[in-house]
Structure 1
Amino acid sequence: MSGAGLHAIFDVAAWGAACAAIWWLSRVRGLQFPRQSFELPYVAALVFGAGIGAYIFGTLNLWFSGMPGIARSVEGALAGGIVAIELYKWLHDITIRTGARFALPLAVGVAIGRIGCYLAGLDDFTYGTPTTLPWGHDFGDGALRHPVQLYESIAMAAFAVFYVLMVLNRNAAVITNGFYLALFYYGLQRFFWEFLKPYGTLIGPFSLFHLLSLFVMAYAAVMLATAPSASLKHERAAA
C-alpha cells in the first residue's frame, strides 16, 4: 500500500478514535462536561475554519520551504478552528466556553494521526532533519532522520493518559479547562519539534509553524488565565 493510502487510513482511524474517546468518557464513564450548545451553525463554522486553516498554513509552509504544491496541517486546522469559533461566538454573543469535551479527542487524534504521517514517508513532508541518534529513520532518501512524527505522537499520547487520570478522579479544573491545557501542551511540544524539521524559516530560526505554535499557546494561556472558578462552574454545569 502506498504512503498516501496508509496516511488516509490513519486519518480515518484518528477521527474514529477521537469520537470513541469522547463517547467513552461521556457514556461509559459518566463524565459530565460543562453544558454546551453545539448547533449546526457552530459545527459548520468549526469545520469551515479548520478546513481553511489546514490548507492555508500547510500550503504556505510548503511555499516558504521552496516546494510547490498544496498541503494540509493539523496545527493550521487548530488555528483556523480557533479563529472561526471565536468569531462565531462573538457574532452570536456567546460567552460560555465550548471546548471542554474536545481535549481528549485532540490528544488521541493527533497521537494516532501522526503515525500515519510517519508511515507516509518523504511525500508527507513531516519528517525530521538528519540525525546520528540510534533511532534515526531512513524515510527513503538514504539519510537517517528524526522521526518527529513519533515524537509528537508519544507526547500527545502522554497527555491523553494524564488527562484521563485527572478527569476520572473528577478534577474539576482539568474537566473544565482541559481543552486549553491540551492546546497549550500541543503548541509547546510542537514548538520544540519544529527545530527538528527541514522547513523554511521566516524570522531568525523560526518557521511558520513556530509562529503558529506561539499563537496557539498564547490563546490557550489567555483562556486559562481568564477561566472562571473551575469547581463552581463545573458544579453548576453538572447540577
Structure 2
Amino acid sequence: MNNKLVIGSLFTTLIFTCVSPALASSSQESSVSFPTLQVTTTELHLDPKINREFEKFLSNKVSSTHSATYVPTLSDIQQFVDYAAKNGIIENTQVAKLNLTKELVRASMKTVVAAGRVAGYKLAAECLDHSLQDSPSEVIYSSGSWQSNLVKSSPVYQSMIGSVRNQLKNYPYSSYSTYGSMTLNNPKDLFLSLNKVNYSIGASKSNGTWTISVVVYDTYNFEYQNWMGAPGIYGNVVTILNNYGAYAQSIGAVVPYKIWIFMQESFRP
C-alpha cells in the first residue's frame, strides 16, 4: 500500500510522498487513497517571513521539476540561505546563515521523525525529535515506563539479567554490583534509538529475595545509516537521510544528549 505523509510544509503545507517500493512504478498511484499524518513543527524558530520566502523558493523548484513532490537538497538550502542573507531576510553574517541552515535542516529531519512514528519506531522517533534543538536536556526514563519496559523486552537484556540471576542463586553475600555493555538490536526500535549501551547493576537481598536495580545509559547519536535500512523507511524519507544524515549532526541540527533508563527486577532463588 502507498503511504503519504503530509508534513506542515517544511513548515506549513508542503507535501512529501513516500511510495512503497513494490508500487513505486505503478501508473495507478493517483487513484490510490492515502492515509495522512499532520506534523507540527512548533519547536522550530523561524520567522513567518522566512517561512513564506522558503515556501516560495520551494514552489519554484517544484514547478521546474514538474513533480508533485520535492525534497530540498543541501544545495537548495544553501542557495536559499545565501539569497536570504543578500536580500535582508536575515543578517548577512556567518552566524545568522548557520542558524538558518540548521533550522531548515531540522525542519526536514522532522519528516524522518514522522516516518518513524508511522513505521512504529516510537522510541527512535522520540529520541530523534528531542535531539532537534540546540541544548537538549538529558532524558531519564523511570522503572515501569513504557521505554523501560521496551528495553526489558529485548532478548539481549533478558539474557544479561538471566546471567545475573544465575550468579545470585548461590551468592554468599547480601549485596552485589556489576557493570558492562550490550547491543540492543532487537526490537528494531531499540536498534534505531539506543543500539550500543552501557549498564550498571546493583542488587540487595532481604528475607531471601533479591531486588535488582539496573540502569542503562547512553549518549544519543543519530545513526542515519541504520534508519536507511529499517523496514517502513523508504521513498523521500531515504532521500532526506541521504541528503542530510551526516550533515545534520556536523552543523548542530542534531545534538547528542544523555539518556538514562532504569529497570528493577526481583526474584527469590
State the TM bucket, normalised to the shorter chain: under 0.3
Higher helix share: 1
Higher relative contact order (CA 8 A, sep 6+): 1
Higher strand share: 2
Q: Highest Rg: 1 or 2? A: 2
TM-score, normalised to structure 2's length?
A: 0.25
